[in-house]
Amino acid sequence: MNAIISASELASDLVGPNPPVVLDIRWQLSTATAAGAAPFDGRAAYAAGHIPGAVFVDLDAELAGEPGEGGRHPLPDLEAFGEAMRAAGVSADRDVVVYDGGVGWAAARAWWLLGWTGHPSVRVLDGGLAVWSGPVSSEVPEPAPGTFEPVAGARPLLDADGAAALARTGLLLDARAGERYRGEVEPIDPVGGHIPGAVSAPTTENVTETGEFRPSDELAERFKSLGVTGTSEVGVYCGSGVSAAHEVLALAVAGVPAALYVGSWSEWSRDGGRPVAVGPDPQ
């Protein structure tokens, strides 16, 4: 099954005989500002209007564990994750569609987690709510409890040592913006730069101006130019395992399996004993 679904396809499926469970994962990366701007409130955005029948899922609370040594968005407790998914109506025998406001990062995190824990049919709304032209609702649904029981391990996962090794033996892609990779700026984590040997591959270059994924053949060419050979292992990291999930999704659209380093730079950079590379070159 394709990992993404268009807005028109979703609209059709929602009025079909077996509509999918729809999850709203609206979220934005929060960076403190001197202006003191209030952080984005995904739940408030959901309350103001969402795809009818969609259930809100909080990325920070339900798709990640507590921030700490494992990074800003470590893996959630499996039991708690399963409870949250069942409360949202998720069952293994029913399709799931996830979406966010349009960037796609948060939806991809949900896609990756559900797939990693064994759900066989999860798709991301390509372009998110920004491309949805159907009706929206402020009504909060009360879905029948689902039966999904998460079992970890259905997708490849990297820890810090595995990411370091893959940077030497395969291809490790850094999905963050180029200036963060080069170490020119670092707005969130303790130090700027990248994992030695990693290749800069901003996930923003995988999508069009409207936020939809580029065609699969274009994505395949892009990843080939970055070093994807079709035989070597591929892994991805970012700041905290969210935008990297979006790059893993782009790789899947291109037909390339890839592992996710969930701890990502937020875990790597917490340990002063780990090496840090700066500048435009991998080493």
d(CA 26, CA 42): 5
- What are phi and psi for residue 34, nearest 5 degrees? -65, -25
- Report helix, strand or coil for 271: coil
Task: Kindly provide the b/e burial profile for residues 71-102, where b requires at least 16 CB atoms within 10 angstroms of the residue's own CB.
Answer: bbbbbbeeeebbebbbebbbbbebbbbbbbbb
Query: Catalytic residue at 104?
Result: no
Shortest CA distance to 246 belongs to which of 218, 195, 212, 198? 212
Q: Rounded to an integer, what distance in angstroms lies between the CA atom of residue 76 and that of residue 124?
A: 20
| The two structure tokens encoding residue 229 | 């050979």
Residues 238, 244, 249, 250: which is the catalytic one? 238
> Phi and psi (nearest 5°) for 158?
-115, 145
Helix 216-226 / helix 243-253 crossing angle, nearest 10 deg: 110
248: exposed, middle or buried (Cβ count in 10 Å: 0-12, 13-18, 19+) = buried
Q: 168 with 159: CB under 8 angstroms? A: no
Q: Which two tokens stand for residue 237?
A: 């990291």
Pick from 85, 89, 75: nearest CA to 152? 75
Residue with tokens 């997708």: 155
User: CA nearest 237: which of 247, 250, 223?
Assistant: 247
What are the catalytic residues? 238
